[in-house]
Amino acid sequence: MKVFRGHFLKSQLILVITAVILGVCCPKIWEQLRSIHFGKKDTANGNLSAGNYNDLLFSKEQLNEFNGVDGQPIYLALLGRVYDVTRDEKHYGSGWSYHFFAGRDASVAFVTADFKNYIEEEADNVLALKSPAILSLINWERFFKSKYIYKGKVIGRFYNESGHPTKYENKFRAMAEEAEFDSFNKQKLRDKYPDCNIEWSMGRGFHVWCTESSGGKERNWIGYPRKLYGLDNADIRCACVKNENLDTNEVVIKPYDNCDSKSQECYYPVN
């Protein structure tokens, strides 16, 4: 029994030394060995479990190996998390539309659609994006989580050498939470103050008016057209406002110039 145990321990030591050498020299083989021998499958969705010791950690150089060239698998990273998209080679393979994303984290391009200019220092710098773009990234993340196999994390902006979230990652998640909260509030306001119908003509400029279905919201009231200012006062839209809400302090609304305050349609020229 002691002899067997000694051989077993030697075999384990040899395996560990071999794995370290492969990790340095052959990242593809190392990734495959680790996913087979050390990775623990989540039987619920077939993905390697996120947020634990089973996560693979990729340097940017290692991730770049998985670009679909010469028979390699195709991995891409989004917000620092790596997904295997090999099964959609017709989209992500060499020569196809989204090969730009293969073997790298180009999170920003998911919302800018700039597939020509890759600047490594800026490609995953998402904190400069505004709320709508951040929401778009969160939706992309949900899509990749639901469709593709999760492989691990990229060491860099979002995760450190131990696979733990960085301050950058935590700040992005806080911004994403705030963006989703703002989006929820905006939708609530849109339900309460639905959009006007709108059209434009060369002779009269813009024509806005309210009906019982304007803004795609079926209701039993019509309302009056008003300029409604966004939560940050940056965006203005035409909203249909109930009579009892014309003096609201909930949002900033203003009547259209040269339009009767109780008219259900208004015209205004283009400046």
Query: Nearest Cα to 45, choosing from 120, 129, 144, 115?
Result: 144
Query: Nearest Cα to 244, choosing from 253, 235, 236?
Result: 253
Is the pLDDT confidence value at 63 over 80?
yes
Dmax of the chain from CA atoms?
98
Determine the pLDDT at residue 84: 98
| Range scoring the smallest mean pLDDT among 33-37, 189-193, 266-270 | 33-37
| CB atoms inside a 10 Å sphere around CB 160 | 15
Average pLDDT over residues 147-152: 97
139 or 16, greater pLDDT: 139
| Range scoring the smallest mean pLDDT among 18-27, 35-44, 159-168 | 35-44
The residue written with tokens 């990775």 in the block is: 39
Q: Which tokens is 190 given?
A: 């849109």
| Range scoring the smallest mean pLDDT among 33-37, 154-158, 172-176 | 33-37
What confidence category does residue 42 fall into, taking pLDDT thresholds of 50, 70 and 90?
very low
Determine the pLDDT at residue 101: 97
pLDDT in tens, 99-132: 999 999 999 999 999 998 889 889 999 999 999 9
Determine the pLDDT at residue 235: 82
Is the pLDDT confidence value at 17 over 60?
no
Q: Which helix (H) or strand (E) holds 90?
A: helix 89-92
Q: CB-based contacts of 170: which residues, under 8 Å, 6+ apart?
A: none
Average pLDDT over residues 59-70: 95
139 or 10, greater pLDDT: 139
Is the pLDDT confidence value at 11 over 70?
no
pLDDT in tens, 195-232: 999 999 988 899 999 999 999 989 999 999 999 997 66
Q: What percent of the chain has pLDDT over 70?
A: 78
Is the pLDDT confidence value at 77 over 60?
yes
**Could you give all domains of the chain from N- to C-terminal order, each with its CATH number?**
57-186 (3.10.120.10), 193-268 (no CATH)
Rounded to 5°, angle at Cα 83 from 100 and 145: 115
